[in-house]
Structure formats: structure tokens, C-alpha cells
């Protein structure tokens, strides 16, 4: 059974940092692209970042501030978020898609992923 379990969300002030974690089970990172997308109520999902062994993707809105990394031994993917802005407030979801797609599933418009977690709230306040 595939599971993606996010943790690390919370509240932080503008300019602060948070690190999200996603513990994955039931599949190998060798076979899937893994990453994060976010959603604000009433808005479209936004692909934030994706990782494969061949490529890394970041949305323009987070480039230079967010860093994705993986620990294959723990089957965990992380999202280090620095210099957070008010616009970063959203529910962040961990997602995985068959690696044949690369990170294209994270490009707009997002249609969906093979797997996604339950989401973790990130709230940035002034």
C-alpha cells in the first residue's frame, strides 16, 4: 500500500523558515518523481517542487527560497522553505507520479498525481 505522510507544517512569520517532511512507503523513489504542490482555497493547485534522479523543478515563485531534498534510505522527501512570504500560505501536499512523466505533472495546469498525501497547513503571517 502506498502512503505519503506529510509533517512539519505550522505558523511562521514573514521571513521565517519551515521544513516539511514527507515519509513515503510502498514504492521506490527510483520509479517515481516525488515532490510538493500547494493549494489555497478557491485557487488552482500550484506545483512547488519536484525531484527525480535526473532533474529538479521549482516553481518561479519559490526559486532561490525553497530547496527539495530526499533521503532515499528513509524514503523521505523534504522541502526546506526559507524567506517565507504571505503568499506561501497554503496547504502543502506531497505527491508522487510515475517517473516516466518526469516532473511534468508539477507544471500548470495540474491534473493530478498517482499518489498524494493528506496535506499539511503552512501559514505565514506578518
Mean pLDDT taken over the chain: 95
The confidence score (pLDDT) of residue 102 equals 87
Whether 122 has a pLDDT exceeding 90, the answer reads: yes
pLDDT band at 99 (very low <50, low <70, confident <90, very high): confident
Residue 44 is given by DSSP the state -
Q: Could you read off the pLDDT of 30-80 as tens digits, one per residue? A: 899 999 999 999 999 999 999 998 999 999 999 999 999 999 888 999 999
| β-bridge mates for residue 98, sequence order | 32
CB 80 within 8 A of CB 69: yes
pLDDT for 101 beyond 90 = no
Question: Which triple of cell numbers denotes residue 14?
Answer: 514573514
**120-125/10-13 β-pairing:** parallel
The CA distance from 56 to 36, in Å, is: 12
DSSP string, 62-77: TTTTEEEEEETTTTEE
How far is it between the farthest Cα atoms of the chain?
A: 41
- pLDDT at res. 35: 97
CA distance 121 to 117: 12
Amino acid at each position: 500500500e502506498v502512503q505519503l505522510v506529510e509533517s512539519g507544517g505550522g505558523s511562521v512569520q514573514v521571513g521565517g523558515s519551515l521544513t516539511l517532511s514527507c515519509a513515503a512507503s510502498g514504492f521506490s523513489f527510483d520509479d517515481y518523481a516525488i515532490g510538493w504542490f500547494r493549494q489555497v482555497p478557491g485557487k488552482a493547485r500550484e506545483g512547488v517542487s519536484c525531484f527525480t534522479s535526473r532533474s529538479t523543478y521549482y516553481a518561479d515563485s519559490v526559486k532561490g527560497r525553497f530547496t527539495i531534498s530526499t533521503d532515499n534510505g528513509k524514503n523521505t522527501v523534504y522541502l526546506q522553505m526559507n524567506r517565507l512570504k504571505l503568499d506561501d500560505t497554503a496547504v502543502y501536499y506531497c505527491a508522487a507520479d510515475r517517473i516516466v512523466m518526469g516532473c511534468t505533472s508539477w507544471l500548470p495546469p495540474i491534473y493530478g498525481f498517482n499518489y498524494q498525501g493528506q496535506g499539511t497547513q503552512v501559514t505565514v503571517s506578518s
